[in-house]
A and B are shown apart, each in its own frame.
Chain A
Amino acid sequence: MQGMSSSDLPPASGPARAEAAPAVELIACPVCDLLQRQADPPVNGRVSCARCGEVLMTNRRGALERTLVASISSVILMVAAIVFPFLELSVAGLSSSASVLEVALAFRGTIVAALSIATLLLIVVIPLIRAAALTYTLLPLILGRRPAPRAERAFRLARELKPWAMAEVFVVGVAVALVKIAGMASISLGPAFWALAGVVVLVISEGASLCEWTVWREIERARKAPPAGTRRVAA
Chain B
Amino acid sequence: MSRHPAPAGAAPGRTARAAGLVGCRVCGLASPRDLATCPRCGAHLASRAPRSLQRVWALWLVGLMCYVPANLLPMLITDSVGQHYASTIVGGAVEIAAHDLPVALIILLASVAIPIAKFIAIAFLALSIRRRGRVPPAARVHLYEFVEFIGRWSMIDVFVVAILTALVHMGFFASIAPGPAAAFFAFSVIFTMLSAQAMDPRLIWDSAEPDAKHG
**Interface 9-mer from B54-62, B116-124, B125-133, B170-178:** B170-178
**Interface 9-mer from A62-70, A73-81, A105-113, A138-146:** A105-113
Q: Is the CB of A8 within 8 A of B162?
A: no
The residue in B47, B163, B201 that gathers the most chain A C-beta atoms within 10 A of its C-beta is B163
For B12, what are the chain A residues with a Cβ–Cβ distance below 8 Å?
8, 10
Q: Is the CB of B173 within 8 A of A32?
A: no
Cα(A57)–Cα(B28), bound, Å: 10
Contact of A114 with B by CB under 8 A: yes
For B107, what are the chain A residues with a Cβ–Cβ distance below 8 Å?
176
Chain A min CB distance to B144 (Å): 9
Q: Is the CB of A56 within 8 A of B13?
A: no
Question: Interface 1/0s, chain B 23-39, versus A by CB < 8 A?
Answer: 11111111110000001
**Interface 9-mer from A127-135, A162-170, A227-235:** A162-170
Contact of B42 with A by CB under 8 A: yes
Question: Interface 1/0s, chain A 165-187, versus B by CB < 8 A?
Answer: 01001101111110111111100
Chain A min CB distance to B188 (Å): 12
Q: Is the CB of B23 within 8 A of A33?
A: yes
Cα(A173)–Cα(B160), bound, Å: 5
Among candidates A35, A96, A163, residue contacting B16 with C-beta atoms closer than 8 Å = A35
Cα(A92)–Cα(B30), bound, Å: 66
Chain B min CB distance to A30 (Å): 4
Q: Is the CB of B163 within 8 A of A174?
A: yes
Interface size class of B (residues with CB under 8 A): 35 or more
Contact of B66 with A by CB under 8 A: no
For B23, what are the chain A residues with a Cβ–Cβ distance below 8 Å?
27-30, 33, 35
Contact of A42 with B by CB under 8 A: no
Cα(A214)–Cα(B197), bound, Å: 23
Q: Is the CB of B148 within 8 A of A163?
A: yes
Q: Is the CB of B39 within 8 A of A115?
A: no
Contact of A87 with B by CB under 8 A: yes
Q: Is the CB of A51 within 8 A of B41?
A: no
Chain A min CB distance to B94 (Å): 13
Contacts A52-B141, A119-B158 given; does A220 touch B14 at CB 8 Å:
no
Contact of B40 with A by CB under 8 A: yes
Cα(A2)–Cα(B15), bound, Å: 12
Cα(A176)–Cα(B106), bound, Å: 8
For B21, what are the chain A residues with a Cβ–Cβ distance below 8 Å?
22, 26, 28, 35
Among candidates B19, B103, B138, B190, residue contacting A179 with C-beta atoms closer than 8 Å = B103
Cα(A165)–Cα(B153), bound, Å: 11
Within 8 A of B (CB), among A184-217: 184-185, 212-213, 216-217
Q: Could you list some 19 contacts between A and B, CB below 8 A?
A: A8-B12, A9-B14, A23-B39, A26-B16, A26-B21, A27-B23, A28-B30, A31-B202, A31-B205, A32-B201, A32-B202, A35-B16, A87-B163, A112-B183, A115-B182, A169-B159, A172-B106, A176-B107, A216-B27
Residues of chain A having any CB pair with chain B under 8 Å:
2, 4, 8-10, 18, 22-23, 26-36, 38, 50-54, 56-57, 87, 89, 91-92, 94, 96-98, 102-107, 110-112, 114-115, 118-119, 122-123, 152-153, 155-156, 159, 163-164, 166, 169-170, 172-177, 179-185, 212-213, 216-217, 219-220
4 additional A-B residue pairs with CB within 8 Å, beyond A38-B28, A106-B166, A118-B190: A23-B32, A34-B13, A122-B155, A172-B153
